[in-house]
Structures are given as structure tokens and as C-alpha cells.
Structure 1
Amino acid sequence: MSKHLHRCLAGRNGGFTLVELMVAMILGLVIIGGATGVIIANRQSYRTNEGLSQLQESARTAFELMARDIRQAGVTGCDSNGRIANVLDQTDPRWWKTWFAMRGFSGNDADGAAVFGTGTLARVEGTDSLLVQGLDGNGIAVQSHRVSDAVLKLNSAPTSIAAGDVMMVCNFSHAAIFAVRSYNATDTEVNYAVGGSGLAAHNCSQGLGYPTNCPNNNLYQYSPGSQVARLMAVDWYVGINSRGGRSLFRKRMELPAEEIVAGVSNMTLTYLQEGGDSFQAPAAVTNWSNVTAVRVGLTIDSIDQRISSDASVNEGRLQREFANVITLRNRVL
């Protein structure tokens, strides 16, 4: 009896059979595989949502910064009725020296500010661009104007004015664009006489009257209370970034272009003219001074790769198109 019990107990302690082990392993692999699939799916969903958030944030940033410039297009600081004198030497063909307020260019038209090419900062051919002029910051009141000395004395002492800065002075008669020859911070005096070096040498006359008469002076005295501010001239375009991709760039006059938003692969711009009922391409605009709104369309790619449903297209990046309408404040009653 004891021998029989010993044999039964020995059989019970013999462990699992090979079949039982294989079944257990298969069940374990199924559970692990299922858990891994859930983790991968959650990770991919997170990356996709993160990519969509990045696209929306990029669009908001681009539209907000572009709107700040576009809304200021043509602003002089005074109601000058479009009467702009410009004593900058027009024989120097720099894109920002002629007053135009706003001008758009289609994808194959050169804008004079950013050249087409494949190198860093070059404009991408086939993408629209926009040149905008206005005022950079708030104006400063004029205390007095000594016409014979070509000196504007200001009411306050800004520290940012320097020789070569391009400024605009205005009142309700007209506005005038000129380059600063020198600035005396102690006396708060801006000298714009003909001469100097660099950009300070760009004045062809010291007469700020309207219309401009170069090289002969058309003298005009601005009264106390007139406003002086730095001229803003910018070019918005899609260009090649330092990583070989595309970005939205903003170029200011003589400064290198700044990368504003990465991943912008295309930009289309259409314009609404006063009295019109539809937005038109740049070639259809008959009078840029009558443009009251700009429709900006941006195509933006996600920074991360392999997050779209088709990894073979655009390296798996998400791509979305966004549009925004921006109204020019000074042209809408």
C-alpha cells in the first residue's frame, strides 16, 4: 500500500508536460503581443495628435505675425491721403526704397527682395510672396523743424535711432521718407542732410516737401506735433531653411531673412480690391492702393516623419492647408 502511494505521489510531482509548456508559452506570447500592439497604437495615436497640434500652432503663429505687418500696410502715422514724398536716391535700385505700401507677386514672378534658388534663405519658385511697407513701432512727436539745417528736433530721446536708419515724418498735409545722417541723443536731433556714408548717404535732397524734387530742394517745414517713426519694409516668402526643408521667412530691408515658421511648403496669396466681390490673384490686381484685404493660404507639413497613414508620401509627414483673411485697417472705414 505504501509503495503504491509513493508511486502516485512521484507521478504528481513530475511537473508539466511538453505540450502544457508549449500551450502556456503560446498563450503568453499572445498576451504580450496584444499588449505591445496596444502600446504601439497608443504611441502612434499620440504622435499623430502631437503632429496635428504642431500644424495648428504653426498656422496660428504664421497668421498672427503676418497679420501684424499686413494690417499696417500703407500706414504713415497721419492721415496724409496717400501723399508721400521720398528723398531716398532712386538710382540705387533697392527693393524697399520706392514707396508702394503693398505689392504681391505670384509664384514665378521675382519680387526683388528674395531671389529664387535652392540654397539657404532662397525663395522657392512656384510660391507667392508679399512686400509690405508701413511704420515700425510708435511715432515720436516733433518739437521743431529747422529746414535750413535739415534737422528735426524730437520731444523725447529714443535710444534706437542711428545713422543710416530710414524714417518717415508726417502731418495731415503729407509724409516724407528720408535716411538719418546722424542722431544727437543729447539734443534729441535727427539730421537728414545730404551726404554721409552708407545708407545715410541715400538722401538726394533735404527738402521734405511734396512732391519730391531731387536734386533740387522742395523745402517744407513740419510743424510741432508732427510724427516721426522708423520705416518698415518686409518681404514674406517661402524659402529654403538651413536644414534643407522649407519654411516661412520674413526679410526686413537690409537685414538677413528670418525663419518664422518651419514646415511651410507653399503659400498662395489673393487680394480683395475695394468694391470687388472676390479675391483675385496678383496679376488681376489693377490698383494696389485699393486692396482692402489679403487671403493667405498656407500648406504646412509636420516636423515629425512617419506619422501619416502613408509613410511613402512626403516621408510620412502630416500635411494640412490653412487659410486666413487679413483686413488692412487703414483702408476699411
Structure 2
Amino acid sequence: MSSTAPSSKPLSRPGRMRQAGFSIVELMVALVLGLLLIGGVINIFMTNQQTFRTNENLGRLQENARISFELMAREVRQAGGNLCGATLMANVLNNAGTAWTSNWDAGVLQGFDGAQVATGIVTTGTAVGERVANTDAVRVLSGGMFDGVTITSHNAGTAQITLSTINHGFGTNNIVVVCDGQSAALAKLTSATSGTSAVVAHDNGAGINDNCSEGLNFPTDCSSETGNSRAFQPGGFVTHMTASTWYVGNNARGGRSLFRVNAAGTEEIAEGVRDMQLDYLLRNSATGNLDSNWVNASAITDWTQGAAAQVVAVRLRLTLQTQAAVGTNQQPVERQLIHVVNLRNRPA
């Protein structure tokens, strides 16, 4: 009987595949490539973020510059003006010279160098709202160029002015400029009720804060109750008088800003204004000749309307700074901008 010996050859198993995986070298290469990719993405993100911060800060700087120049230049341009274009101004306010906001005769435009004390501003210091040392300031008085109400009639005997609307916006103790084509007058309203009456009064009364006279004619006469009286013509205007001083001060965030102070208080206008320097161009009142050079405020000794040399233009130089350190040297970006303002209300 024959027998067959078992074979030593292993049996094959169809369908079974040989298993394989990443080697340690392949895994390390993949990790390095992944890190390089992630690093590139992070670098792009950081670059875009820095670009965004830079553009945002530069945009804010430009916007602050635009606001500063637009608002300040508008007031400087209208210094001493009124809606009627009258050049003669009577001032019947009691003790007009004791407050800078009503002292028209001292000059409707007055500048202050960094070393000069500016009226209406706290002495230079470090507190919020105080003027920054060695920065210029400028004071502007105007007849209110943007809120005039038309005069319907004026009874000089009763010191009452009838306006074209009951919604005139005036109130008792408001300081106003009354004008027509002949002259203008600065006075305080002794009675006014907005929304119910179109009549406002400028009586001299008996109080020390009232007007020295009812008469609003030029020149001012405070020697009697009626003073130098005349009736302003229909078609004239009554406007709020504006008085403001512009300067660079400390803000509440540890930086500097452009500020505007008036009789109502101090307001912050634009952030990031580090410095303000002002120059003035003079014209000889007798000959009409312009000076050849700009001068600073300390070189001008007479700012009144009758001065031999009148300021006809102001050169504003503002230095602005971004809020964040977005410069290439890791410092805030600074820009100095210049704007020239011609005064409209100066006789040719």
C-alpha cells in the first residue's frame, strides 16, 4: 500500500495583501511640510492684520486731520463776520471787556504763541483738558454765520424785535448779533420764548448782566437808557454770537487732542493732534500792501479792528499721530499737515 508524504510548502491564501505603513522618515517629512504650510498661513494672517491696523490708523489720522481743519478753518475764516456783511459793530453788553467771550473790541481774532497765556484756557499742565506746553492757540469771535433768523420788524422804542418764525431758537440771556446792511450790534436778549412767540427783547433793564443801553446803533452809547438808538431794517438778521478758543490739550486717554472752548465749556474735537503752530499774514491798513513774511503771534502787538496792520490770513500747521505703533520702526506714525485760511471779513 503506497502512502504520500505531506508537503512542506505552505498553502497560499488567495486575496490576502501584504500590509505596509509610513516609515519614521516619511512621517517626519510630512510633519515638517505641515509646519511649513501652517507657518506660511500664520505669516499671511499676521501680515494682513498688520496691514489692516496700519490702514485703519492712517485712515483715522486723515479723518482727524480733515475734521480739525474743516471745523477750525470755518470759524477762523468767518472771524468778525455777520450775515449782513456789516463792518460797523456796536457792543452794548455790560462790562463787555471783562469776559473774553464778549470783548469784541479787543479783536475778533487773536493768536497765542506756545509761551503766551491764552484767555479762557487753563494754564498749561498735565491734567485732562489743559493746554499742552509750547503749542499755539487762537481765539475767534464771530457774528454767527449759520443760524440766522430774519427780522420782520424792530421797535427801537420798546427794544423788541419781531422775527420771521416762532421757532427761532433764542432764549433769555443769549448773546446775539443783530444786523442789517448799515451796521451790526452785539447785545444780550432780556426775554425770548422759543416756540410760542416771534418777539425777542434787548432791554437794558436794571441788572448788572443786562445791556448798558437799549440803543443798538453804532457807535455805542451807554450814557443813557436809550443810548444811540435806531431801528434795524426788515430783512436783517439775528444770530447767536460765537466765541471760541482752539488749542491742543491732554485727553482722558493719555494722549493729546484738538480742543475747542467757549462760554458753554470745553469739548474735544479730534484725537491724535500732537501739536499746533500758527503763523499770520499781515496787510498794511493804510497802503493795502501785504507783508512779505508770515509772523507768529508774539510779533503782533495789536489785534483790534483799528490796528495799523491787519491779519488777513492764518497758516495752520498741525502735527497728528496714529493711536497705535504701526510705523516701520515700531513707533506711531506722525504727519504734519498745513492749511492756509483767508479771512473773509477784512476790508480791502
TM-score (norm 1): 0.86
* Equivalent residues of 1:195, 1:201 under 8 A apart: no
Identify which of 105, 115, 118 aligns with 2:112. 105
Equivalent residues in 2 for 1:1-333, closer than 5 Å: 13-81=19-87, 83-90=88-95, 93-99=98-104, 100-116=107-123, 117-136=125-144, 137-184=146-193, 186-195=196-205, 201-217=209-225, 218-225=227-234, 226-252=236-262, 254-274=263-283, 275-285=290-300, 287-288=302-303, 289=305, 290-303=310-323, 305-311=324-330, 316-331=331-346
Deviates more, 1:238-247 or 1:145-154: 145-154
For 1:236-283, what per-residue CA distance to the aligned partner results, in whole angstroms no more than 9, with x for missing partners?
A: 11112222321111222x212121111111111111223123322112
- Give me the identity figure in percent: 36
Q: Give the CA deviation at 1:85.
A: 1.4
Q: Give the CA deviation at 1:127.
A: 1.2
1:166 & 1:75 partners in 2: Cα distance?
15
For 1:62-113, what per-residue CA distance to the aligned partner results, in whole angstroms no more than 9, with x for missing partners?
A: 11111221121110233433x3211112277221111021111111212211
1:202 & 1:110 partners in 2: Cα distance?
29
* Equivalent residues of 2:172, 2:193 under 8 A apart: no
1:276 & 1:194 partners in 2: Cα distance?
43
Identify if the C-alpha distance between structure 1 residues 174 and 295 changes in structure 2 by more than 3 Å, giving closer, same or farther.
same
Deviates more, 1:147-156 or 1:104-113: 147-156
Identify if the C-alpha distance between structure 1 residues 19 and 162 changes in structure 2 by more than 3 Å, giving closer, same or farther.
same
* Equivalent residues of 1:141, 1:224 under 8 A apart: no
Unaligned 5+ segments in structure 2 are: 1-7, 284-289
Identify if the C-alpha distance between structure 1 residues 282 and 48 changes in structure 2 by more than 3 Å, giving closer, same or farther.
same
For 1:182-225, what per-residue CA distance to the aligned partner results, in whole angstroms no more than 9, with x for missing partners?
A: 1255552222222376xx82422223232223353532212422
2:98 & 2:58 partners in 1: Cα distance?
43
Larger Rg: 2
Give the SS at the match of 2:265: coil
1:184 & 1:35 partners in 2: Cα distance?
67
2:29 & 2:85 partners in 1: Cα distance?
87
For 1:14-41, what per-residue CA distance to the aligned partner results, in whole angstroms no more than 9, with x for missing partners?
A: 4233233223222322222222212211
1:224 & 1:331 partners in 2: Cα distance?
24
Unaligned 5+ segments in structure 1 are: none
Give the SS at the match of 2:327: coil
